[in-house]
């Protein structure tokens, strides 16, 4: 129930709740990964069950696919959809130009593919995700397992010539074993502190053999919906140049707030 939610979870919920207003009957919708995106999937499921909303969802991870099926959303692949009307996803960080760092949950590759195959990308986040410059959150870089230590060394060498504050890198672990993405790859997290030129860094890394993709989502996001713990919502549309503020009332719905273990 909403009365049991922390302020941060309330902020995530109201952002997610506002984002589903962008979804219309018959749409093909990219479904993001992470705790905030899980709220959005739950909200869409409630609209499918209670309002007869007909959509097809393209999930960005296996766990999002499982949740979408649980709540009654029809799940299809991106190959089946070919193109999407909208993708709604969370972010680990975003700046004033709506550039993002994503991949804290390890799904950055599918997330970026789905987001760029959409007419519109909407990011839902709590206010704590906004930063002046990207880089406070570790930047994930997905690499193939073969020769990953060599790839890691090459990334570290590249960082010497980049405008970043720090250059520490770590292999993401899952207990005592490397974390494995849905595509069977590893993730190297870059602890940079500040990224002075995200476009330069992204382009240079993605030209490196062994690197599959990085977590910089640049010039992809169209709208950021910010949630606050008191129910306020701020919607920033970079294409329209608008900022709108609203407040959502919490409505306690047993089906929506049970089993939220993300």
80's CB contacts (< 8 A; 6+ apart) are none
87 with 122: CB under 8 angstroms?
yes
User: CA 57 to CA 68: how far, in whole Å?
Assistant: 8
Binding-site residues, in ranges, read 33-36, 89-92, 102-105, 129
User: Is the pLDDT at 252 greater than 70, yes or no?
Assistant: no
User: Is the pLDDT at 141 greater than 50, yes or no?
Assistant: yes
Note the pLDDT tens digit of each residue in 180-212: 999 999 999 999 999 999 999 999 999 999 999
User: Is the pLDDT at 257 greater than 90, yes or no?
Assistant: no
Which domains does the chain show, CATH number per domain? 2-130+219-257 (3.40.50.1360), 139-213 (3.30.70.260)
User: CA 195 to CA 163: how far, in whole Å?
Assistant: 6
User: CA 100 to CA 162: how far, in whole Å?
Assistant: 18
User: 145: phi > 0 → left, psi -120 to 50 → alpha, else beta; which?
Assistant: alpha
| pLDDT given for residue 204 in this prediction | 98
Distance of CA 55 to the CA centre of its chain: 20
User: CA 2 to CA 37: how far, in whole Å?
Assistant: 17
17's CB contacts (< 8 A; 6+ apart) are 39, 43, 248
| pLDDT given for residue 262 in this prediction | 40
Q: Is 93 an annotated catalytic residue?
A: no
- Alpha helices by DSSP H, listed for 135-197, are 148-159
What is the pTM for the complete model shown?
0.93
Q: In which band, very low, low, confident or very high, does the pLDDT at 249 lie, cut at 50, 70 and 90?
A: confident
Q: For the packed helices 62-70 and 35-51, what is the interaxial angle rounded to 10 degrees?
A: 30
Percent above pLDDT 70 for the chain: 94
Q: Which of 46, 93, 111, 213 is catalytic?
A: 111
Mean pLDDT value of segment 218-233? 97
Q: Is 144 exposed, middle or buried (0-12, 13-18, 19+ CB in 10 A)?
A: middle
| pLDDT given for residue 4 in this prediction | 78
User: Is the pLDDT at 9 greater than 90, yes or no?
Assistant: yes
Count of residues in the chain: 262
Binding-site residues for substrate, in ranges, read 33-36, 89-92, 102-105, 129
Note the pLDDT tens digit of each residue in 52-95: 999 999 999 999 999 999 999 999 999 999 999 999 999 999 99
- Radius of gyration of the CA atoms of the chain, in A: 18
Structure tokens at 168: 């520490």
Structure tokens at 260: 């939220």
């Amino acid at each position: 129930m909403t009365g049991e939610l922390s302020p941060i979870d309330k902020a995530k919920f109201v952002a997610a709740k506002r984002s589903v207003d962008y979804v219309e009957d018959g749409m093909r919708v990219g479904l993001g990964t992470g705790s905030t995106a899980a709220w959005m999937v739950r909200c869409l499921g409630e609209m499918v069950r209670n309002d007869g909303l007909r959509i097809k969802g393209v999930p960005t991870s296996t766990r999002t696919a499982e949740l979408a099926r649980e709540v009654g959303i029809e799940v299809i692949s991106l190959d089946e959809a070919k193109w999407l009307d909208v993708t709604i996803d969370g972010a680990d960080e975003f700046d004033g130009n709506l550039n993002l760092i994503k991949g804290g949950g390890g799904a950055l590759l599918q997330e970026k593919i789905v987001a760029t195959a959409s007419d519109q990308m909407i990011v839902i986040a709590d206010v704590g995700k906004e930063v002046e410059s990207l880089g406070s959150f570790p930047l994930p870089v997905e690499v193939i397992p073969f020769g990953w230590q060599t790839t890691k060394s090459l990334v570290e060498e590249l960082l010497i010539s980049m405008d970043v504050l720090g250059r520490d890198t770590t292999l993401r672990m899952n207990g005592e074993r490397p974390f494995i993405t849905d595509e069977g790859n590893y993730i190297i997290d870059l602890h940079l502190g500040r990224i002075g030129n995200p476009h330069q860094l992204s382009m240079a890394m993605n030209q490196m053999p062994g690197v599959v993709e990085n977590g910089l989502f640049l010039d992809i996001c169209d709208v950021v919906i910010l949630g606050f713990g008191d129910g306020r919502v701020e919607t920033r549309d970079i294409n329209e140049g608008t900022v709108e503020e609203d407040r959502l009332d919490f409505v306690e719905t047993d089906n929506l707030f049970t089993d939220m273990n993300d």
